[in-house]
Structure 1
Amino acid sequence: MSITSPYSYIFTGFVCILLIGFTIVLRFLLKERSALRELAYQDPVTGLLNRNGLDNFWSNYKSKESLAVLSLDLDFFKEINDTYGHQAGDELLREVSRSLKQVTNKNQLSFRVGGDEFLFIMKNCDPNKVRIMAGLLLDKIARPYYIEGRDVSVTASIGISISQGYRAERSRMLQEADNAMYYAKRLGKNRYWVFGESLMPEQVSPSQPSR
C-alpha cells in the first residue's frame, strides 16, 4: 500500500490554481479584445456602425443578392447645431439613430459615416420595399424631439441606389446614393430619390468624395 506524499497534494493544488488563473486571464483578454473590436466598429455618439464597420461590411460582402444603399442626410442640422450647441446636436443624432435601429433587422444595417450623414443598407430587397422603407425612415425622423428641455424638429433627405440586375459595387452604389440624396435636397428636402429615375449627372450637385 503506497502512501501519497503531502507534496503531491501541494503540487496538484498548485497546478489547479495555475489552470484556474490562466483560464480567468484568458477569458478577460478575450473579453477585452471583443470590447476593443466592438469600439473600433462602433460610432461613440450613436452606437451605430461607423466607417470601419462599413469597410468591414463591404470586405465580407461576396453575395450576388440584391442590395440597396440609402444615403441619409439630415436637413438643416448645422443650423440646429449652431443654435442649440453641439451637446444638443449629439443628443439629436442619438435620437435619430434610435429611429434607425427601430426598423433595422438581420437584412438591414445602419451606419453613421460622419457628421449628420447616415447610411442604411438593405439586403434581399426589391425596389418597392426600398421605397416603403425610405418613406418609413422619413416619417420616423420627421417628428419632434425633446432635447434639453425644448422641442426640436428635423427632417432628412434620402438618396437610393439599388443593385437590381447587377452586382453590388461599393464605389458605384455609394456615389449613386450620394448623388440621388443631393438631388432630393434640391427638390426641397424631406423626401427620397432613387438614382436613375429621370436623374441626369448634370442635374445634381458636384460629386462628393466616395465614402
Structure 2
Amino acid sequence: MTHAISPIIVTVVVFLVASCERKSHEIQSKDIATPTMNEPYIPPEMPPFPTSYDEVMSTLAPYYHEQRPLEYFFEMYVIDVIEELPEASLNALADFSSKHPTFFEKHGGDWRKHVVVESHLSDTIEIAIWDLWIRNSANASRDGWTYHPWHFAQNFADNYFADDSRVDVWEGNSLEEAKARIKAHRKK
C-alpha cells in the first residue's frame, strides 16, 4: 500500500520550514551583539580600601583561599608606593602585622619589606610603579574614566608577574625618561 502525499501538504510543510528558518535567522542576528571600537571602557567596581583589621581580613580572605596572600600585600605595596593608600589602611595593615607576628616575622614584622624581598623586587621597582601609574592614569582620564589605584595595582601585578614581563626593564635612556616624568608629575 502506497501513501500519496498531497501537493498541498508538501507546499505547507516547505513554507513552514522556510518560515521557521527565516525567523530563526532573524532572531539570531538580533541576539548577536556586534562590538564596536567606540564603546567606552567601563572599569570594574573596586572594593573600598580596608580601614580596620577586620576589613584587612575580609579583603585578604579570597587571596588566602587561592593560596596567593603575597599578591594581596603586593597590591597594597603598589598602592602605597603611589601614595594612594589611606592612612587608615596603613594602620589596619600595621594592626594585622601585630596580630599575626609570624606572618612577616622573617622581615621583622614589616609587610612592605616582606613584599620587596619575597617578590624579589629591584631597586627601580618604585620608579616602574610610579611611571606606569602616571602614564596609565593620564590615558584613562583622557579616555573618560578614572583609574582606581587598586585596579591599577592588580593590573600592575598581572603584568609584572607575567612570563616575559618587560615591567621594570629599562633599555637605553628609558629609566632617565621615567625619572623625568615622575619629577614633572610631583611638581604639579
Fold-level match, TM-score > 0.5?
no
Greater strand percent: which structure?
1
Q: Which has the higher helix share?
A: 2
What is the TM-score of this pair, normalised by structure 1?
0.30
Max radius of gyration: which structure?
2
